[in-house]
Structure 1
């Protein structure tokens, strides 16, 4: 999946590392910054934010393992966030980056905080867009969450029922997800980007990877979070919590302060797909945070 039109001036990423053939883009100048997308997207989720951030950072923007065009050598054992994090560290080292900053949205943020926890000293700063740790998210599940985020529990069912349902109506499932996230407007996801997401989402290999991602969330990932809570493990870098307007920033800062000593929270005025919905606000927050100044 070649998408140079979404990132003018960037180079294609095509690197074997950690059991993954990573696809995506790289570009910019300055210290390295890894950007990780979420569900139901690919690396092009960062297309509106990347040009501004690339003025001061070398951006590495991959498809997550199994998503988009990043292909895994095998799906066994399952690609837990721990395994994804290790592969991302291998990717960054293959590109010559032993230490780097990281911003993750949605699933990418879950891979991101796991990477920070499992690889102390590797991440200089971590920004979590719209996410709290899985163990905290699941502890707060109510009927409203279950209704809006039904896919958490559908995709986590045993293979291959979710895969068969996804294969039957991939465009409808993706379009429903976008609508629930209040991102139906072409000003948020323009037709070319939606078409790219559709193409990726129709791939049976991607559908299986997505289901395995959500199975891991309610199994291994949850167990890893619970073990870290018990052991008192913490993120060893500053954390930026970027919340959408529908989220309680005070509550989310409190959650993250149980995981890290240095936590800052900011609210963007849009909905869940922050980098596409409110790119200028995301740029301002991330640029300030990664430059070491106070966001806001």
Structure 2
């Protein structure tokens, strides 16, 4: 299965949608677009692709126009240049360019995992564009790293492995890409049996691509360096998200901080609400109906 086949294969998860194939700001974006209503940008996480939203897209498309890309470098979204590094700030800029290319000047953002990190950077840097932001299973990287202990490090070792200097993790991943992604997904979803075989096959195929693996490593390197530095600058200056913020958090997450996710996000925004979702880390795939209900109660119907 090559990248073109992967783009086609994913369409079976999104009946009634059309393919997204747009080149802007050094990214050839792939994904899907469909639905009716105000624009809603859905951003997936590691180690997935846009099909992470397959279980909630059909319902949300009744009320919103969904733009669901692979993140730059992930899945079938190919990046034209690798330097400077694809920090979340650069990713946010490219996503903004994508939305404006499609004709959307204001839109809501829902992000899971890495997609939420790109999403909050987008909302911070382009406050006039983002009408609402929902973060699934994520707090800002500065807060996440400030609370790291041995339990977090053991469960999330990939943060520290993938962010090692360029070359080493890429070489090691090349030896057994399927084993690594299957371990990651099994840990996040409380077992691979919770991800249907067709979706797992697409996740595997994407991760077998050396360029995708390198982009993922660069994503984590950016998180540990430029992204965290920029978060620190924004925290010090008092910069905040101006839009309403929703936090959805998995019940199974072993948090290692005295502050709740809502309390953490309240340091970054004045209008924060949220709730826990009975699931593991992969909220949209494990508990789609609960996520749909939470998003419907939060997202604006109109721009």
Q: TM-score range by the shorter chain?
A: over 0.9
Verify: 1:123 aligned to 2:130, yes or no.
yes
Offset, 1:246:
2.6
Contact 2:33/2:66, CA 8 A, preserved across alignment? yes
Aligned residues between the structures? 291
- Give yes or no for contact 1:183–1:273 (8 Å, CA) kept in 2: no
- Separation in structure 2 between the aligned mates of residue 291 and residue 121 of structure 1, nearest angstrom: 15
Residue 258 of structure 1 pairs with residue 267 of structure 2: yes
Deviation of residue 80 (structure 1)? Answer: 0.1
Q: Conserved in 2, the CA contact under 8 Å of 1:19 and 1:73?
A: yes
Deviations 1:49-76 (A, max 9, x none): 1000000000000000000000111111
Say whether 1:29 aligns with 2:36. yes
Asked whether the 8 Å contact 1:170–1:202 carries over to 2, the reply is yes
Offset of 1:198 from its aligned partner? 0.3
Q: Counterparts in 2 of 1:120-199, with a 5 A limit?
A: 120-186=127-193, 188-199=194-205
1:181-260 alignment runs, 5 A limit: 181-186=188-193, 188-247=194-253, 251-260=260-269
- Following TM superposition, the consecutive aligned residue runs of length 4 or more in structure 1 with deviations greater than 3 angstroms are 247-250
Matches within 5 A, 1:100-119: 100-119=107-126
SS of structure 2 residue aligned to 1:96: coil
Secondary structure, aligned partner of 1:181: helix
Q: What is the alpha-carbon distance in structure 1 between the residues aligned to residue 195 and residue 17 of structure 2?
A: 20
The whole-number CA distance in structure 2 between the counterparts of 1:217 and 1:51 is 32
Residue in structure 1 matched with residue 49 of structure 2 by the alignment: 42
CA contact (8 A) 1:183 1:277 kept: no
Q: Distance in 2 between matches of 1:283 and 1:17?
A: 30
Question: Quick check: 1:78 aligned with 2:98?
Answer: no
* Alignment match, 2:3: none
Task: Return the TM-score normalized by structure 2.
Answer: 0.94
- Aligned equivalents of 2:202, 2:40: Cα separation in 1: 24
Question: Of 67, 73, 84, which aligns to 1:66?
Answer: 73
Give 5+ residue unaligned stretches, structure 1. Answer: none
The 8 Å contact of residues 19 and 31 in structure 2, kept in 1 or not, is answered as yes
Cα RMSD, aligned residues only: 1.2
Q: CA deviation at 1:185?
A: 4.7
- In the alignment, the residues of structure 2 paired with residue 9 and residue 270 of structure 1 have an alpha-carbon distance, to the nearest angstrom, of 28
Equivalent pair of 1:241/1:264 in contact (CA under 8 Å): yes
Aligned partners of 2:162 and 2:259: how far apart in 1?
A: 30
Shift, 1:288, TM fit: 1.2
Deviation, structure 1 residue 287? 1.2
TM-score by length of 1: 0.96
Q: Match for residue 284 of structure 2?
A: 275
- SS of 1:13 mapped into structure 2: strand
Alignment partner, residue 18 of structure 2: 11
1:183 Cα shift? 3.9
Shift of 1:184: 2.3
Contact 2:182 2:192 (C-alpha < 8 Å) held by counterparts:
no
- Mapped to 1, the partners of 2:282 and 2:216 lie a distance apart of 18
Moved more, 176-185 or 265-274: 176-185
Superposed displacement of residue 182, structure 1: 3.3
Q: Does 1:287 align with 2:293?
A: no
